[in-house]
A and B are shown apart, each in its own frame.
Chain A
Amino acid sequence: MSLLNYTLRIADSSLISGQRLAEWCTNAHTLEEDIALSNIALDLFGQANILLEYASELDGNKTADDFAFKRNEREFFNLKMTEQPNGHFGDTIVKLFLFSSFNFLFYNKLSQSKNKNLSAFAFKSLKEVKYHLKHSKSWMVRLGDGTKESNKKVQESLNSLWEFTGEFFEMDEIDNELNKKGIGVNNKSIKEDWNNIINTTLLDSKLKRPEDGYMQTGSKSGLHTEHLGRLLSEMQYLQRAYPDAKW
């Protein structure tokens, strides 16, 4: 049960980030960026798919699609950061950068997991996340060190999204249990490396690191912001409206 829950947490963060990024399709400022964001979204859906298939195996009853399309808000465990609306391009880039820098370090550790499914998944995903980090980082620098307007915009994005970074490093009972068994990651142990990535990037981007103030929490027990419910009602619409249909 703990392992299933742990798997769903990782899967859900990928799925919900992918769903948000895919909303950019046809809306980016150049064709090249449209393609890049779709690419990242595709990677994230692919990651979610692998893990939800594994969740289905652990569960023995539900399919991967059941997990994606038939759970309610309270049964989703994605990081709150991932469900936040896209906002403007700067908001999206900050979200992607903060999440990818965490994911890069997290997958790096998870690739050493004693659980073969999780380690193989992390190993495969690491290559993708490296690209997500590189792409978002390059935009952090261009926007931060671009024009006055872009610097101001992206600084505001950073300030308002910062409260969602606290969740990255939380450890609850499930995390502790699986970490002890050599299956899960000790999230606290990657904080220092994460700080390094963030600090050097912000320095290059001429941006200020926000102070740690109020930090959001709760996604590990299925508590979310109000945005998730709307996202799910759109994503799950067909499966919910036609429960007998196969697609």
Chain B
Amino acid sequence: MNENKFQDKIDSERKIEPKDWMPEAYRKHLIRQISQHAHSEIIGMQPEGNWISRAPSLRAKMILLAKVQDEAGHGLYLYSACETLGVSRQELIQQLHDGKAKYSSIFNYPTLSWADMGAIGWLVDGAAIVNQVSLQRTSYGPYSRGMIKICKEESFHQRQGYEIMAEMASGTPEQKEMAQDALNRFWWPSIMMFGPHDGDSPRTGNAMKWKIKRQTNDELRQSFIDKTVHQAEIIGLTIPDPDLKWNEERGHYDFGKMDWDEFWDVVNGKGPCNKQRLDHHKKAHIDGKWVREAAKAYSKKQKDLIIN
């Protein structure tokens, strides 16, 4: 009975709110997806944070720091959205530290030159936007509203990333080389951000039925590739895929085979920065323990003062 009402609500495009009845599997799916998204924002701060101290101009430094700060803010929205489903931020962070919760594998690659700040903004945020624009219409109210806020900031991130790439691509030969190298390294991991092919994505079925997801992995990936190819052409960079070509019949670009063995290796912990990223997050958490304890002790003293 409940189940039917719930599905009716979704089918008639009304949002599910925290106090509404929902199937346990729906709640679980959302917690997994939103927390994974939140962790991605937070772990995603590290590869870009790696270049704040070395940004090449005052303007670039301020933009990059503001961007990384935005990501912390997105993490906060998403943790809060997740908390409406009855799980605390502390528990979510524990799951991340225990390796039970995942984050986007793209952040397990190192940022090796300033051009990587461009590539991340342009490609990684670009891919994220395609996914997030679609998620603005997701069926769970708090997640949908969070996405609407986040999308506004992400489109600014993508523009600034593209601007860095464009500047470097038209700069000195060394700058152009850095830009092309960054594109070469980030292209394939970026298009794999959309996840496995639809046939290999076991959870897609329910997620589509419940309208948590509105488009499949392959549809989203295609839409990202279609719009990015032209952007690369404009700034004179080459996408590292010899099989990439326009397919008149489909009205889309055809593209080469993705290396799913690498994808699954990185998802399962065997990537260049998996250990580093998680260790960094754990260390900050452990180093800050005495501060959190002090704040708690102080706040307790203040409450005791009021009571007595």
Contacts and interface: CB of A to CB of B under 8 A. Distances in A.
A68 B55 CA distance: 11
Interface residues of A, number: 49
B289 A244 contact: no
A28 B284 CA distance: 6
A26 interface: yes
A27 B286 CA distance: 10
A39 B68 CA distance: 11
Contacts of A33: 288, 291
A29 B65 contact: no
B243 interface: no
Report whether over half of chain A's contact residues are helix, strand or loop; otherwise say mixed. helix
A30 B288 contact: yes
A25 B52 contact: yes
B285 A29 contact: yes
A142 B227 CA distance: 51
B186 interface: no
How many B residues touch the partner, as a band? Answer: 35 or more
A140 B206 CA distance: 51
A78 B140 CA distance: 51
Contact of B291 (A31, A52, A64, A150): A150
Contact of A142 (B60, B75, B280, B294): B294
Given A27-B284, A246-B167, A146 B294 contact: yes
B209 to A, nearest CB: 33
22 contacts: A22-B52, A25-B52, A25-B65, A25-B68, A25-B69, A26-B46, A27-B287, A29-B287, A31-B76, A45-B58, A45-B61, A45-B62, A48-B58, A64-B58, A68-B57, A89-B287, A142-B294, A142-B298, A143-B294, A146-B298, A150-B290, A238-B56
Interface of B: 42, 45-46, 49, 52-62, 65-66, 68-69, 72-73, 75-76, 79, 114, 167, 171-172, 174-175, 280-281, 284-285, 287-299, 301
